[in-house]
Amino acid sequence: MKAFSNKWTRAAIPALLLHCSIGTVYCWSYLEDAIQEIFLSANTSVSALGWAFSLAIFFLGMSAAFLGNFVEKDIHKASLLASICFAVGVAGSGLAVKLHSMPLLLLSYGVVMGIGLGLGYLSPVKTLMLWFKDNKGLATGLAVAGFGAAKMIFAPIITALIDAVGVVNALYILAGIWFVMMFAGHLLLKKPEGWVEHHEKLDVKAFFARFAIFKDIRFIGIWLVFYINITCGLALISHEKAIYTVVGLGSSAALLGTITGFFNATGRLGYSTIGDHLKDRNSVYKIILISELAITALALFTNAIDKEYVVICVALLILVNFGYGGGFSNLPTLLSDVYGMKKISSLHGIALSAWAFAGLTGNQIADLIVKKTGDFQNILIFTLMLYAIALFVDFVFIRHTHHKAEDAHPQI
């Protein structure tokens, strides 16, 4: 039985099962059109439909922020609750579509599934970092690469299911598939033998005391850089298909979406692995931001979208996806280098609140820009300014991040 209990079977595989399931939240666009069609056929307003995705991301981040200590105490309860919430949220979304109920859809997909997302995202991360203590970046990269790869894997499956059985039945079937995957991950997930958590009894005062981390200028810097990278990423990724159409690549949008999804996933694995070999892991964020700033400036100053410079537009979306994914995989390892491993799940959860607020601002601001100006190029002005601010914050407020060895690499 001991041969079965290793870093692959107890950490990597369960992490991939969990993250490949919850990462399907980025398949929302493949569900949205079919849901909208059914609602409109029943004369139900769809003006709030886009908020289902935004609420899911918001509750992902906020549940991670407020339940990080719960995950820290018991990954098994957390991963089980994640499996249940995520599956119930997806199945509830199917029922909401069948009943033509927008409030039920927002509650199911946005709130219940969103809580499952947050718990499922956090559950395997610390376990991976403990099993792969000498290659923490590789470990977290493996997990969140699964999150990024979920769209590549399930987008064609979702499309085929909707065509075959309709969106309502497709959601019921998907809820079952994802629950089985997540429950299997829950059963397999286990921290290494000999690792003992030390937790004080939690009271209300201690709970809110965790948020005093925002008094630390380094944490504020990390939070802002993470927030800006996601906001800019969502601003462009949410309009990816439309941009391809504008530059004459509409017929290839699905294929190009798969390609950018691949780079989103490989960015998560690639950048995190690079971080393992750098003296200061924060250098990864500098590389990400400089590359995103450079390609955005090139696309803006050549007027690439309006002039249909296809190569530049595709390169823009590839590099933004690459850096977007890399930003996620480097967050927990950067936090562990700065603050150590003792409370990493809790700190990681608080930092993920940035994702929650980015989910409410990124694509909505981009939507507003396009609606008011009718020009996708203007999104680039917005993202270029934010990337510049993030780079400034990174250089000024996030100092050398190497944490003392005994805390960053605990004995297990």
User: What percentage of residues in the chain have a pLDDT greater than 90?
Assistant: 47
Q: What is the rounded distance in angstroms from the CA atom of residue 229 to the CA atom of residue 362? A: 10
* Predicted confidence band of residue 152 (pLDDT cuts 50, 70, 90): confident
351-365 per-position pLDDT tens digit: 989 989 998 888 889
Return the half-sphere exposure (C-beta side, CA atoms, 13 A cut-off) of residue 295: 22
Please give the domain boundaries of the chain with CATH numbers for all domains.
Answer: 7-190 (1.20.1250.20), 213-399 (1.20.1250.20)
Name the average pLDDT for the chain.
Answer: 86
Q: What is the mean pLDDT of residues 14-35?
A: 89
Amino acid at residue number 93: S
Return the half-sphere exposure (C-beta side, CA atoms, 13 A cut-off) of residue 292: 36
pTM value is 0.82
305-354 per-position pLDDT tens digit: 999 899 999 999 999 999 998 998 888 888 888 888 777 778 888 998 99
Give the model's pLDDT for residue 137. 74
* Residue 295 pLDDT exceeds 90: yes
* Predicted confidence band of residue 84 (pLDDT cuts 50, 70, 90): very high
Q: What is the DSSP string of 379-401?
A: HHHHHHHHHHHHHHHHHHH----
Give the model's pLDDT for residue 118. 92
Give the model's pLDDT for residue 399. 65
Give the model's pLDDT for residue 3. 52
Give the model's pLDDT for residue 400. 53
* Predicted confidence band of residue 58 (pLDDT cuts 50, 70, 90): very high
Give the model's pLDDT for residue 203. 60
Return the half-sphere exposure (C-beta side, CA atoms, 13 A cut-off) of residue 13: 14
More confident residue, 283 or 342: 283
- Tokens 């509650």 correspond to 107
Give the model's pLDDT for residue 21. 94
* Residue 198 pLDDT exceeds 80: no
